[in-house]
Amino acid sequence: MTNFGPFARIVSAAGLAATLAGFAAPALAGQAEVALLKSYEGNWRGQGTAVGTDTERVTCRMALTPGNQDKVNYAGRCSLAGTNLSINGTLAYIDDSSRFEGAMTSNLNFSGVAVGKKQSNGIVFNLKSRGEQDNTDLEINAAIVLTPGVITVQFKATDVKSGKVIIASVPFQKI
């Protein structure tokens, strides 16, 4: 296994965590939007790559389960470059703002909220975040794309001080 080094492990794990979003406020969602979110409930597995100085394999698992008030909860775990990342959160449709939202927490002190838009027959969540982790100033641009039968997580993480970039893509399949 290639050793990415501390920056790569932090950035890769933080990027995946930031991408997998969830929501925390109550919602009175439209039936079609709730049904679309609930269609992703179940167990998912994904494998992909993270590319920075080296290329590293990323392996993930995620479970989406029914939540309160028409929400969908999720819990996931990814392994890459010798680091384990765990994430938890909730997805929801918010009638008041006519949009999907997601927020998450992770074991790497990263959390965030992503806005989702219905696109074709799925949902695309986008997140931009900037924060510091272990004295590294990180800028995260991430997306999670939900399409029938597939969830794809994509992100780009940049160390603002050094300019080092890590890009990852992980497609998930329902199991």
pLDDT band at 133 (very low <50, low <70, confident <90, very high): low
From 82, 114, 111, 89, select the one nearest 100 (Cα to Cα).
Answer: 114
Assess if residue 92 is contained within a domain. Answer: yes
Assess if residue 1 is contained within a domain. Answer: no
Higher pLDDT, 107 or 15: 107
Q: Give the HSE-up count for residue 81: Cα atoms under 13 Å, Cβ half-sphere.
A: 23
Assess if residue 44 is contained within a domain. Answer: yes
5-60 pLDDT per residue, tens:
554 444 444 545 544 433 333 444 488 899 999 999 999 999 999 888 889 999 99
Assess if residue 51 is contained within a domain. Answer: yes
Higher pLDDT, 141 or 171: 171
Assess if residue 77 is contained within a domain. Answer: yes
Q: How many domains does the chain have?
A: 1
Residue span of the structural domain in which 50 resides? 6-174
What stretches of the chain show up as alpha helix (H) in DSSP? 6-19, 31-38
Q: How many whole angstroms separate alpha carbon 51 and alpha carbon 39?
A: 31
List the end-to-end C-alpha distance of the chain, in Å, as a whole number.
26
Biggest alpha carbon distance in the chain?
Answer: 48
Residue 150 CA to chain centroid, in angstroms? 14
Name the pTM for this structure. 0.75
Q: Is 169 helix (H, G, I), strand (E, B) or coil?
A: strand
| pLDDT beyond 70 at 169 | yes
| pLDDT beyond 70 at 156 | yes
DSSP states along 59-118: EEEEEEEE-STT-EEEEEEEEETTEEEEEEEEEEEEGGGTEEEEEEEETTS-EEEEEEEE
pLDDT of residue 140: 78
The position carrying tokens 């997601």 is 102
Q: How many whole angstroms separate alpha carbon 53 and alpha carbon 100?
A: 35
Task: Provide the CATH number for the domain around residue 169.
Answer: 2.40.128.20
